Chain A
């Protein structure tokens, strides 16, 4: 047999031809998980020569002098989900061991859910757990900026990304302020109105209701699946942005029965 014929037969016999590619969503999730696993951008900073570091110190002093402030500097540098949680603004000024002194568990950080907002694009909810029993949450815009940091024209505010104590922990620490009903979530606002869209309120967090498979807002009729671990991300357009539209979150089991409400 001629060598070229043998190699041609070999190419045809490639077993990977029957291997289906992973879906884009799963592959992107793996990519995000890798990026979230550790902040690659930090390590090279440690290796820079002293002169470069000094130069950078001069830059940061200049930045502060220009009045950009600590919050903007924080937001400017924090990119990966893990970094967002590790440098949680929610933790700022919290005394050691206090309720808001939450530390993310790096291996727990996942891309939990995604919602496509018209005129904006895919907004992704990142979730993590903290050593102290709390949780971490952040919404990332298509520009890679984070909702609540004021660095993107579509960011209309809401909860600043970071790590939070659970509602139970807050109640246990002092005067109860939450109704404990199995829901624990935060809210971020995404504004697509400058592009002809709507203002969207995105509630993201988790439900501690084992049977829950779906969360819905009974006012708007919008619903979102509950993913593994009880996580959810529900986006609802708000027609009355000046006075927040009322909403009523309900959790359903797979038979359509209500198993909890907020």
Chain B
């Protein structure tokens, strides 16, 4: 099979663009996955960039939210697969980010995050740790910027409340977190 001269620039452009994309965003994507599933990080990051390479013409100029959205889907698929394999009874969606569950200097933060719903936690961490703005978060989660603003505002408030209670040693029940109420029982 012969390629045509006219395809040369196209192919080199793709390869060059992917190389730049890889250099610029690899660590951000790796950190995103590692914070949430350290054991899956290598596989998920490899899968993410393989998809980016296959679909290089679809990757937007602001690539990071797009890549993180791909990584998020790949991570969730991998977790579902692992969950099926291990037949665990626990609800993985409500696990705290595993990088924070180990004892460390920020146990109170980890405990407060664990009190949040998975949706609150994800939107909060996309902002605070992954450094995405509202537009980027909207790309990752597939919702509108207005919706992100509202959900992020609530998640920040709930996290702040959970952290304050953590500091005060007051337990917070599951229903309170999901309902957004401020009273502890």
Contacts and interface: CB of A to CB of B under 8 A. Distances in A.
B65 to A, nearest CB: 17
B112 to A, nearest CB: 8
A115 interface: no
B7 interface: yes
A127 to B, nearest CB: 19
A37 B22 CA distance: 15
Contact of B109 (A10, A37, A38, A41): A10
A3 interface: yes
A60 B53 contact: no
Given A3-B157, A34-B53, A73 B5 contact: yes
Interface string B103-119: 01110011011000000
Given A59-B4, A63-B4, A144-B12, A9 B34 contact: no
Nearest to A52: B6
B38 to A, nearest CB: 9
A10 B106 CA distance: 9
Given A14-B35, A31-B22, A37-B53, A60 B12 contact: no
Judged by DSSP, the binding face of B is: helix
A27 B7 contact: no
A6 B160 CA distance: 5
A116 to B, nearest CB: 18
Contact of B15 (A1, A76, A80): A80
A22 interface: yes
Given A38-B54, A73-B4, A79-B8, A16 B129 contact: yes
A173 interface: no
A94 interface: no
Contact of A6 (B14, B105, B156): B156
A45 interface: yes
Contact of B2 (A12, A38, A70, A79): A70
B129 A77 contact: no
B26 A27 contact: yes
Interface centre among B1, B3, B104 (most CB of A within 10 A): B3
Contact of A37 (B14, B50, B100, B128): B50
A10 B27 CA distance: 20
A44 B100 CA distance: 42
B79 interface: no
Judged by DSSP, the binding face of A is: helix
Interface in A233-257: none
B19 interface: yes
B11 interface: yes
B172 interface: no
Nearest to B163: A6
A35 interface: yes
Given A14-B128, A16-B35, A1 B167 contact: yes
Contacts of B62: none
A41 B7 contact: yes
A22 B26 contact: yes
Q: Please name the 8 residue pairs, one residue from A and one from B, whose CB atoms are nearest each other, closest first.
A: A77-B3, A41-B11, A13-B106, A6-B160, A15-B99, A16-B31, A13-B109, A31-B22
6 contacts: A16-B99, A34-B53, A56-B4, A56-B7, A77-B2, A77-B4
Given A10-B124, A77-B4, 12 more contacts: A1-B164, A1-B167, A3-B157, A7-B156, A13-B105, A14-B129, A16-B34, A27-B26, A30-B26, A31-B19, A56-B4, A68-B5
Interface of A: 1-3, 5-7, 9-16, 19, 21-22, 27, 30-31, 34-35, 37-41, 43-45, 56, 59-60, 63, 68, 70, 73-74, 76-80, 83, 87, 144
